[in-house]
Amino acid sequence: MVKFFCMIFLLVSGLLINAQTISVSVETDTTDYLVGDFINYKIEVITRKNIEVLNPSLPDSITNLEFISRGNPTFTENEKFNTTVFPFVLAGYDSVTATIPPLAVEYRSIGDSSYKSITTDSLSVNIHTVLVSTAEEIKDVKSPVLIPYNWLLLLLWIAIAAVVIIVTSYLYKKYKRKQAEKPVEKKIIIIPPHVKAFRALEVLENEQLWQQGKVKAYHSRITEIIRRYFEERFNFLSLELTTSETVHQLKNIKESEIIHNVTFDFLSNADLVKFAKFQPLKTLNEEMMNQAKEIVQKTIKVEGDIAGEEEFVESEEVSVQ
């Protein structure tokens, strides 16, 4: 009878696991830390093959804990499930029991534009100071050690400072005289962000990195070009953000509505290659270039007539007095 009920339990558990679309768990390397220790906090998300997961966001400050850094996610897969681990580093600077609150992890099914979310469990850690033994004898503080003053070294530094000041002053006055002798024509040339991006994509395409087996380098370069384009075109630090954070920023910009989906697919595919060691097909490498050009082409900022790739914004003569 015991064996029979165990088999029934395992069968039901297996059916429940197979029916589950996504599960999330959290952990730390221990629950006991000294003040100032780094707390390695991980969020593990297990999903079916047809589920895409956005990088979860962690508040900059949690009660009694400070956010230190975010690590690169790791991705593994088997026949039925994908497992993604999102690492974070926290620290506590007070002797207290600190609780990391539940966090929302957003996900969606492939082909579905709407996002759902699942919430993690809360997790508590104990932070304390170094224990001091009161049984040992208190030791006196040592007297400070006096170091003899080196007057020769002081005179040497004064001489060096005097020489630097005299030479700098002479060069500055000479420079000012030359600037006052003739007017300087000042030209400011601004190259539009889309022109820079197309040039960089053309150079990358001609290098044929992925054709030479340098697939990771190819995906790193092409995403860097598009992220730098976002920084100049939409004025936010895309190079310092994750894929989910970049997509979230674009959602708040009306001019970028047309590229939301293609940008998510573009950056997500690159993340798989860069962080999960995914080996893409030839068609995906070619599609990455097409998507990059599409992102830039659909968000070109139109401001008046641009005669060429370079726009002369200002050209004037400045007299230096």
What is the per-residue pLDDT across 257-290, written as a single tens digit (0 to 9) for each?
Answer: 889 888 888 988 888 888 867 777 888 888 889 9
And the tokens for 125? 């850690």
CB-count exposure of residue 250 (10 Å: 0-12, 13-18, 19+): buried
Q: 293-314, pLDDT tens digit by residue? A: 999 999 998 765 443 344 434 3
Tell whether the model's pLDDT for residue 18 goes beyond 70: no
Q: What is the pLDDT of residue 111?
A: 81
Q: Which CATH number fits domain 20-128: 3.30.1330.10, 3.30.9.10, 2.60.40.740, 3.30.1300.10?
A: 2.60.40.740
Domain ranges of the chain: 20-128, 190-298
Q: What is the pLDDT of residue 184?
A: 60
Characterize 133-170 residue by residue with b for buried, 16 or more Cβ atoms within 10 angstroms of its Cβ, and e for exposed.
eeeeeeeeeeeeeeeeeeeeeeeeeeeeeeeeeeeeee
Q: Above pLDDT 70, what percent of the chain?
A: 85
pTM of the model as a whole = 0.39
Q: What is the pLDDT of residue 9?
A: 54
Q: What is the pLDDT of residue 193?
A: 92
For residue 178, what pLDDT band results from cuts at 50, 70 and 90?
confident
Tell whether the model's pLDDT for residue 39 goes beyond 80: yes
Mean pLDDT, residues 99-113: 88
**130 Cβ partners below 8 Å, 6+ apart?**
34
**167 Cβ partners below 8 Å, 6+ apart?**
none
From the list 123, 125, 124, 127, the residue with the least C-alpha distance to 96 is 127
